[in-house]
Structure formats: C-alpha cells, structure tokens
Structure 1
Amino acid sequence: MDTKELLKKVRKIEIKTRRLSDDIFGGEYHSTFKGRGMTFSEVRQYQYGDDVRSIDWNVTARYNEPFVKVFEEERELTMMLMVDVSGSEFFGTVNQFKRVVLTEISATLAFSALQNNDKVGLILFSE
C-alpha cells in the first residue's frame, strides 16, 4: 500500500467517523467545568467578593489576615485506547475484517475526544 492510498483511506475513515461522533456522542459529554475545581493550586489573600466558604482557616489563623484556597478546574481529560492487533483481527465476515471495525471504532472515539479538546493516546498490543 503506497502513501497516497493510505492517506485516502485515513481521510475516508475521518469523514465517516466525524459524522458518527457528531451523531452518537453529541450532547452526552459531561463538562468538567462545574463547581470550583478539584486540584489545589495556591493560597492567596482574601479579596472583596471572594466566597467565604473558600477561606483557609489554618493560614488565616497563622497570619491574622483572611486567606482563601484557589483550585484549578480540570480542563482536559486523557483517553487511552487499547487495541488488540494480534492475528485474531484478520477474522471477520465477507464484507469486512475485524481490524476495519476496530479502526472505525477507535477513530470515532478519538475524533469525539478531540472535538472536546481532550488528549488521546493509543496502545497497540498483541500476544
């Protein structure tokens, strides 16, 4: 298989899976931007308008000034795809092998994650 033919196949899979990822996964992605965040970032001095629930009472007692905890929101998720590339992928029906179905499913999931600005990784394994 030459480079031109390979790029043509990749483009065909991209077009097909982009439509599938829009149809299947549209609106089902849960946002990570709800709430105040999960990862502790820093402690800073209290400013007018800050939420009093975020006051760090230990630091406030130590310095006799109000300090608040600042949290970072998780903005990216990482999806790792693990794909079996052993000899069993050459099994299939008359229409298509199992490896073609695996490629399309992996591409659909990857394009769906990329549309949400998430990181995507791929691990290929065999016997």
Structure 2
Amino acid sequence: MDANVTEIRKLENKFSRLEIHHVVRDNNVAADVLSKLGSDRAEVPPGIFVHELHHPQSILPPMEVDSIPQETSREVMMIEDNWRTTFIDYIKDKVFPPGIKKDDAEAVRIMRRSKNYILVDNKLYKRGA
C-alpha cells in the first residue's frame, strides 16, 4: 500500500485536485466478493475480467542508474533456480534434490515445509486457513 501511495504522490502535481479515500473491506462488497472467489478458486462468473499477476509487486521501487556510461562489456549468466521445484518434486514423487539424503536436516525441512503447499493442475499453491 505504501508503494502505491508513493506513486500517487509523484503524480499529484499533474492534477488540479486529488482525493484519496481508504475503503474498509467490510464496506467494499466488490472487493470482498473477488477475494472470496480467489480464495475458493471458484469458477469466475461471465463478464468478470481476470488478470493473473506473475510478479510479487505491482509497483517496483525506482532503480538507481549510473550517469557515467561504461565502456567495458559485461557478460551476464542467468541461473534459473526455482525454489518451488523442490516442493513440487517432493509432493508429487517424494523425491529430494540430488545430494540430499532422507535423513539429512535439509530433507526434514523439505518434508515439514511441503505440508504448507498443495498442487493444483501441477501449480504450487500455499495452503490457507
């Protein structure tokens, strides 16, 4: 919420008038209905637009950029290590990552933490209350 307010504050001088109202969830029926649809994973009614977010934040903090151009070339190696694959493999097949034995502390941690997740259509979801 603070990141959203910061972005709004940056733009407020572009408008002649700006009002920000906080609506308590109990008084916002539309948001309440949408949150219940999301938590139940129910079928979305026709006429409702669905947009899946694939990043944890909708507003990213500004990045600092050096003003001096760099003449040297740099190579970047991307390593995709997805933490979810450990839990998906364990939940599906009871398989640990290579190098981890069943009696290791890491294996116990994986077994314990995997109870907090569930697989739905091969996608990992955190269990809720």
TM-score by length of 1: 0.22
TM-score by length of 2: 0.22
More relative contact order in 1 or in 2 (CA 8 Å, sep 6+)?
1
Higher helix share: 1
Higher strand share: 1
Structure exhibiting the larger radius of gyration computed from Cα positions: 1
